[in-house]
Amino acid sequence: MKKTVLRLLFIGTFALLYLSTFSQNVGIGTSTPNYDLQIHNSSIQSDLQFTSGGTGATSVDGFIVGQNTPAGEALIWNFENKDIEFGTNGAERMRIKADGKIGIGIGSPNYNLQIHDSSIPVLQFTSGSTGTASGDGFLVGQNTPAGEALIWNFENQDIEFGTNGAQRMRIKADGKIGMGISTPNYNLQIHDSSIPVLQFTSGSTGTTSGDGFLVGQNTPAGEALIWNFENQDIEFGTNGAQRMRIKADGKIGIGTPSPSATLHIESATNTSALSTTSLAAGGYFLASYYNETAPASIRGKYLGTGSNDGTGVFGSSNGASGGYGIGGVFIGNWYGLVGAGTTGGGAGIYADAGGATNAIYINGNIAGTGTNNYASDLRLKKNILPLTNALGAIEKMNPAVYEFKVGDFGSMSLPEGKHFGLIAQDLQKIYPELVVENNFTGDSKEGFEYLGINYTELIPVLIKGMQEQQQIIEQLQKRIETLEKK
């Protein structure tokens, strides 16, 4: 078929409107239109302008679709203070408001760009290397109609965040998050060349650099920082329960929210409140005062100058029933307990029975150097009477050689081998004052009572017995001398 072009509109000798009878395309400014309607201008912008009775008819009225420059910049432009609508299938799909806000799926957007969908509103970005399916590329939107926000990369690649032309945060493909660093080593790593700090503030703290709570590094050298600017406590917890609290005044409570000392430890269960171990030679694990060279697991020293007795280390255990509760346990490979007095002091070790049967109970042998002395000052005594009939009492005593039943009484450290002494039950019939009732508990807590002898106070009995014996000897000596003179 022969192509025919009809010139439908002339100005002078120039045709402005062409109709191709072969393609049925219409050309304005071109005789060879490529599409149903083609507008061409070789020098200035080529536009299609729409005006109405309410817009005016000047070059700056109505709505324009075309090219803004000969270079090819596309133009969709509304001169009027009205919206631009886009729709398909008889429904509005997008709207550009007169104030510049863009709504996709909504006719009254609240922000510069608002995407609305009654099910899942999502903005998807794909490229030639990602694929174009719903499970490809990068999504920004809401994951559920309930409003769960979504920033999601389907690809095995990172997500980057940046400002001022520089990266500020990166979420790695393996889930690690780096702030100030593109290769984080842990789930969250914050890096700064000067002082990396994470700050928490609230409506009651203020928002300055000296407000709220900080976690980070205090100096570029790496000093760790946990710091509360507010006059409030710092709490530490596990399993939904508070485990430690640093009070605003500096007191630390472990197991208690109300510490009464610089460090206050409480245990609500049948476990030790504090257990320390020193493994390094010449080292110490915990010290409240330390300036000596000897290693110590726990070291306490009282430095007060008042007249009241100060205590370097104090232990107390208040059991619910008698015989239970240990104020302190000391175990050592060389010495379990060492006490050293100072010049002018009273004693290296002081023990007070405080109502108990014994001030000190030793489950084993006793060894030592020096002398033993007991209170015997006349000023301390009353109701002083002479001891009589000691020799008769000695005659009733039954010294014996015996062995202890080693191993029959739990953890009671009875000595092995032969021993010499008296039987407490026998002596109790003669001098009941010298027989003492004791209670041994041991590790099993199954205590039993047993009798002990105050051998020290047997010495005066023996002395008196020797004196009475000496009197008898002297009397007999006089009788012999008298008989020999006859």
As given in the structure block, the two tokens for residue 66 are 């075309």
> Sorting pLDDT into bands at 50, 70 and 90, what band is 218?
confident
State the chain's mean pLDDT as an integer.
86
Question: Alpha helices of 199-302 — where are they, by DSSP H?
Answer: none
Global confidence as pTM: 0.62
Task: Work out the burial of residue 422: count CB atoms within 10 Å of its CB; fewer than 13 is exposed, 13-18 middle, 19 or more buried.
Answer: buried
Q: What does the pLDDT read at residue 1?
A: 45
Q: What span, in angstroms and rounded, lies between the C-alpha atoms of 447 and 432?
A: 23
As given in the structure block, the two tokens for residue 365 are 């042998």
11: pLDDT strictly greater than 80: no
Mean pLDDT for the stretch of residues 273-299: 57
Among all chains, which residue has been given the structure tokens 């000190």?
A: 360
Mean pLDDT for the stretch of residues 371-397: 93
Mean pLDDT for the stretch of residues 119-134: 94
Rounded to whole angstroms, what are the CA distances from 10 to 4, 16, 29, 369?
17, 6, 11, 137
Mean pLDDT for the stretch of residues 283-307: 58
Among the listed ranges 25-34, 48-57, 340-349, 466-475, which one has the minimum average pLDDT value? 340-349
Mean pLDDT for the stretch of residues 319-335: 68
48: pLDDT strictly greater than 60: yes
Q: What does the pLDDT read at residue 443?
A: 60
Q: What does the pLDDT read at residue 432?
A: 96
322: pLDDT strictly greater than 60: no
Q: What span, in angstroms and rounded, lies between the C-alpha atoms of 284 and 290?
A: 9
- What is the DSSP pairing of strand 26-28 with strand 74-78? unpaired
Q: What percent of the chain has pLDDT over 70?
A: 83
Q: What does the pLDDT read at residue 346?
A: 75
Which of 185, 156, 160, 155 is closest to 170 using CA atoms?
160
Q: What does the pLDDT read at residue 30?
A: 84
Q: What does the pLDDT read at residue 142?
A: 92
Tens-digit pLDDT profile for residues 66-102: 988 767 889 999 999 999 999 999 999 999 999 999 9
Mean pLDDT for the stretch of residues 404-423: 90
Among the listed ranges 17-21, 180-184, 192-196, 284-288, which one has the minimum average pLDDT value? 284-288
2: pLDDT strictly greater than 90: no
Mean pLDDT for the stretch of residues 159-163: 97
17: pLDDT strictly greater than 70: no
Among all chains, which residue has been given the structure tokens 């640093």?
A: 246
As given in the structure block, the two tokens for residue 423 are 């039987």
Q: What span, in angstroms and rounded, lies between the C-alpha atoms of 54 and 78?
A: 13
Count the alpha carbons within 13 Å of 80 in the hemisphere toward its beta carbon.
Answer: 17
Q: What does the pLDDT read at residue 290?
A: 40
Among the listed ranges 330-334, 385-389, 461-465, which one has the minimum average pLDDT value? 330-334
> Sorting pLDDT into bands at 50, 70 and 90, what band is 398?
very high
Which of 161, 195, 190, 193 is closest to 178 using CA atoms?
190
Q: Three-state DSSP class for 390? A: helix
Among the listed ranges 91-100, 187-196, 287-296, which one has the minimum average pLDDT value? 287-296
> Sorting pLDDT into bands at 50, 70 and 90, what band is 358?
confident
Q: What's the count of helices (H) and strands (E) in the chain, helices before strands?
A: 3, 31
Q: What span, in angstroms and rounded, lies between the C-alpha atoms of 49 and 351?
A: 108
Q: What does the pLDDT read at residue 24?
A: 78
> Sorting pLDDT into bands at 50, 70 and 90, what band is 446?
low
Mean pLDDT for the stretch of residues 436-451: 77
As given in the structure block, the two tokens for residue 269 are 């269960």
Q: Which of 42-51, 92-101, 431-440 has the highest mean pLDDT?
A: 92-101
Q: What does the pLDDT read at residue 291?
A: 46
CB 33 within 8 A of CB 20: yes
Q: Which of 2-16, 169-183, 270-284, 293-307 has the highest mean pLDDT?
A: 169-183
> Sorting pLDDT into bands at 50, 70 and 90, what band is 13?
very low
Which domains, ranges and CATH numbers included, belong to the chain? Answer: 233-269 (no CATH), 385-485 (1.10.10.10)
